[in-house]
Amino acid sequence: MRNIDAMLNPRSIAIVGASSDGRKLNGRSLRFLLEKGYAGAIHPVNPKYDTVAGLPCHPDLEAIPGPVDLVIVAVPAREVATTLESAGRKGIPAAIVFSSGFGEMGEDGRRLEREVAETARRRGIRLCGPNTLGLINAFERVIATFSQYANGDTPAGPVGFVTQSGAFGTAIAALARRRGLGLGYFVNTGNEADVDVVEVMRAVVADPRIRVLAGYIEGLKDGPGFQRLAEEAMAAGKPVVLTKVGRTGAGARAAASHTGSLAGVDAVFDGAVRAGGMIRARNEEHMLDIVEAFTGLDALPAGRGLGLVTQSGGAGVLMADRAEELGLTVPVLAPETQAALAKVVPGFGATGNPVDVTAQFLADPDVLRESVVLVLEDPQVHMGIIWLQLMEAHVDVLVGLFEEIRARTSKPFLVCWVAATDEALTKCRERNIPVFRGGEPAVDAAAAVIGYAESRRRLAADRPQRIALAPPPVTLPERAGLVPTLEAARLLGDAGVPLTAARFARDPDEAVAAAQELGFPVAVKIESPDIAHKTEVGGVRLGLADGAAVRDAVTAVMKSARAHRPDARIEGVVVQAMAQGDVELVIGLKHDPVFGPVVMAGFGGVLVEVLKDVAVRPAPVTRVEALGMLDELRGKALLAGVRGRPPVDREAVARLICAASAFAAGAGPRLTEVDLNPVLAGPAGVVAVDWLMVLD
């Protein structure tokens, strides 16, 4: 497939179905291109007219003299394929299809869409849409869209925005403009019959004029491409901030009815975002808050310490609350810093952190300026937030003060200005000072910036290990379905996953012999290719202390399994050594339709079953990534040792996760599922005591 440069940066554009009525869908893009001064050639195509909007109008694409880079198609759905054939004959490399009436319209539409995609592929045309609002490259004034957004100014700027939703994307673009965020690109990918959101994001982030990429996502098709996007953006030093809907079951159901395709397992998407050092925003406002912070900051914070300077003690408390919830610190300032602040801040203010300069600074602006500079100079502070409110009469003084602070410090800071006037917001943004409407949004944005800075450092340090990841191919058994316990043990053991010793036994005698070999106490578990969940059929007996107990247990589990599942083929039992551990983990492997092999880790019992507290990553993972997964779990304090127990060997847990993830990556798509549950972890190491493997 050729790249999509001709689509994003065409030197000439043809518009099929062009109209001179600039209010109509098929007239708007032409009007925008003319009004906003697109420098390339514009070729209206419509057999009904000789000229359109003062330009020569051609009866068809082939009648256009000279080359055409991009064709905008705004004809009825059933005429689109014919138009693309004509575009192919003309040698046009890219098309944007505004027309609707495709996949979104049921089976007939889907058939039409497949035909259009096939035509484009055969003719070597890269296609955006159908059912798209189109795109804007504001740098080159390519306004190839009929979006309401283009009704207003579309100033170029360092933000690229790619959206799978037209209507919602238009609103987000308008909100970005209100904040003075220049969108260098605005692209709606529509039905994605050819070009998808990932490919567009990769192309946009490659533009050197783009510094931050924002994306609105409903569902991904290309997981590996998404991972490459993350790598490329990280290498280029450009944050990627994404809103993806379909976080919950209800959302996923709504998304399925909306997009006609499942949104994918949200936890897998989330894991891929974290793995790649991208940033996930909760909603459009949160996304733009984060984008605004990034566009206004020259430096990234070197740590998690927030310095809060306010004119209200309560606002400081509110921000400290939010910082703690997000895992940031609000360090008590060094004695020297506090001593210096005490000379500046009024007696009824506060010099710890938050620092409360009180409204007195209006009488003497030095108070605020010097306080912020002192706080930012404290070695434990890595990023600052200045909180203030109203101050209609003091906008110029304050904005000047922020600029002075910026000139005197190398550490990043944000401004939170509650109930600011439009004048105040505009003046801050004109000077590239990120400004927020409330303390919580400001702390949320700071947390995203700090998280990104940490990801950058982590991924840079871990880069050699990531590059070195080369999971050896795994030869899986031919047979589909449940893999016999001992065969699964051999496969996982060869891959370096520690498992308790296990023996297969056909009858009580063999089981006793196995137990003697393993050493008592042992566990006995039913073995059947038809029984995945052994506990549910009464097929497990634990802590058997001697031969008699083993003999009884074999009889009992076989009887119970037969009673529960008369149809199941019972092959015997597995005898296992008993293992010990302070903490139960669950490690899982799956083949995700979008991302391929993925690894999942969580704590066993209530945390994973009731609270769904799991961390997910595309496989394979490095040691650092595996440790990152453990840090992400809400129950992570369990690993530090609860009730006076010594800490769990985190490195051993990470090794197990790495080994399992490498196995998944080596095994490929036939590995449907591996469930290591429970994995027992303690100070002396880790071992899986039960495992389940299913092949496709």
Closest CA to 656 of 683, 621, 693: 621
User: 65 exposed, middle or buried (CB, 10 Å; 0-12, 13-18, 19+)?
Assistant: exposed
Site string for a second copy, 608-637 (x = CB under 8 A): -xxx----------------------xx-x
Q: Is 692 in the site for a second copy (CB under 8 A)?
A: no
> Which residues ranging from 416 to 455 are in contact with a second copy (CB under 8 A)?
418-419, 437-441
**Bond from prior residue into 130 cis (ω within 30 degrees of 0):** yes
> Strand 183-188 to strand 159-163: parallel, antiparallel, or no bridges (unpaired)?
parallel
> Which residues ranging from 482 to 511 are in contact with a second copy (CB under 8 A)?
none
Q: Is 694 in the site for a second copy (CB under 8 A)?
A: no
Binding-site member from 19, 165, 189, 371 for a second copy (CB under 8 A): 165
* Contacting range for a second copy; rule: CB under 8 A; set: 80-88, 343-351, 402-410, 670-678: 343-351
CA distances from 52 to 43, 67, 70, 72 (A): 9, 20, 18, 15
Binding-site member from 47, 237, 347, 473 for a second copy (CB under 8 A): 347
> Which residues ranging from 526 to 545 are in contact with a second copy (CB under 8 A)?
535-536
Distance of closest approach, residue 605 Cβ to a second copy, in angstroms:
7
**Which residue, 59 or 314, is less far from a second copy as judged by CB?**
314
* Contacting range for a second copy; rule: CB under 8 A; set: 227-235, 278-286, 464-472, 543-551: 278-286
Binding residues with a second copy: total (CB under 8 A):
92
Binding-site member from 235, 299, 339, 359 for a second copy (CB under 8 A): 359
> Which residues ranging from 636 to 665 are in contact with a second copy (CB under 8 A)?
637-638, 642-644
> Which residues ranging from 283 to 302 are in contact with a second copy (CB under 8 A)?
283-285
> Which residues ranging from 236 to 265 are in contact with a second copy (CB under 8 A)?
243, 245-251, 253-255, 257-259, 263
66: tokens are 């000279």
Task: Give the integer Cα–Cα distance in Å for 191 and 206.
Answer: 23
Q: Is 384 in the site for a second copy (CB under 8 A)?
A: no
* Contacting range for a second copy; rule: CB under 8 A; set: 31-39, 199-207, 318-326, 375-383: 318-326
**Which residue, 148 or 516, is less far from a second copy as judged by CB?**
148
Q: Is 335 in the site for a second copy (CB under 8 A)?
A: no
Strands (E), 545-622: 572-577, 583-592, 596-603, 614-618
**Which residue, 106 or 519, is less far from a second copy as judged by CB?**
106
Binding-site member from 66, 107, 237, 348 for a second copy (CB under 8 A): 348
**Which residue, 322 or 411, is less far from a second copy as judged by CB?**
322
* Contacting range for a second copy; rule: CB under 8 A; set: 335-343, 356-364, 541-549, 590-598: 356-364
Contact at 8 Å (CB) between 461 and 622? no
Residue type, 264: G
Q: Is 164 in the site for a second copy (CB under 8 A)?
A: yes
**Which residue, 46 or 243, is less far from a second copy as judged by CB?**
243
User: 598 exposed, middle or buried (CB, 10 Å; 0-12, 13-18, 19+)?
Assistant: buried
Q: Is 564 in the site for a second copy (CB under 8 A)?
A: no
**Which residue, 177 or 274, is less far from a second copy as judged by CB?**
177
**Which residue, 507 or 631, is less far from a second copy as judged by CB?**
631
Distance of closest approach, residue 58 Cβ to a second copy, in angstroms:
30
Q: How many CB atoms lie within 10 A of CB 231?
A: 15
Task: Give the integer Cα–Cα distance in Å for 420 and 402.
Answer: 15
**Which residue, 506 or 533, is less far from a second copy as judged by CB?**
533
Q: Is 218 in the site for a second copy (CB under 8 A)?
A: yes
Distance of closest approach, residue 640 Cβ to a second copy, in angstroms:
10
Distance of closest approach, residue 353 Cβ to a second copy, in angstroms:
8
> Which residues ranging from 55 to 114 are in contact with a second copy (CB under 8 A)?
100-101, 104-106, 109
285: tokens are 């406002």
Binding-site member from 390, 461, 542, 684 for a second copy (CB under 8 A): 390
Contacts 24+ apart (CB under 8 A), 670-674: 670/476, 670/591, 670/695, 670/696, 671/474, 671/476, 671/589, 671/591, 671/597, 671/695, 671/696, 672/590, 672/591, 672/696, 673/588, 673/589, 673/590, 673/591, 674/488, 674/492, 674/588, 674/589
Q: How far is CA 473 from the centre of its chain?
A: 28
Work out the angle at residue 535's Cα, subtended by the Cα atoms of residues 532 and 537, and round it to the nearest 5 degrees.
80
DSSP annotation of 248 reads S
* Residue found under tokens 């019959």: 193
User: 525 exposed, middle or buried (CB, 10 Å; 0-12, 13-18, 19+)?
Assistant: buried
Cα dihedral 450, 454, 455, 456 sign:
positive
* Contacting range for a second copy; rule: CB under 8 A; set: 78-86, 347-355, 447-455, 648-656: 347-355
Contact at 8 Å (CB) between 521 and 578? yes
Task: Give the integer Cα–Cα distance in Å for 635 and 615.
Answer: 11
**Which residue, 196 or 218, is less far from a second copy as judged by CB?**
218
Q: How far apart are the first and last CA of the chain?
A: 31
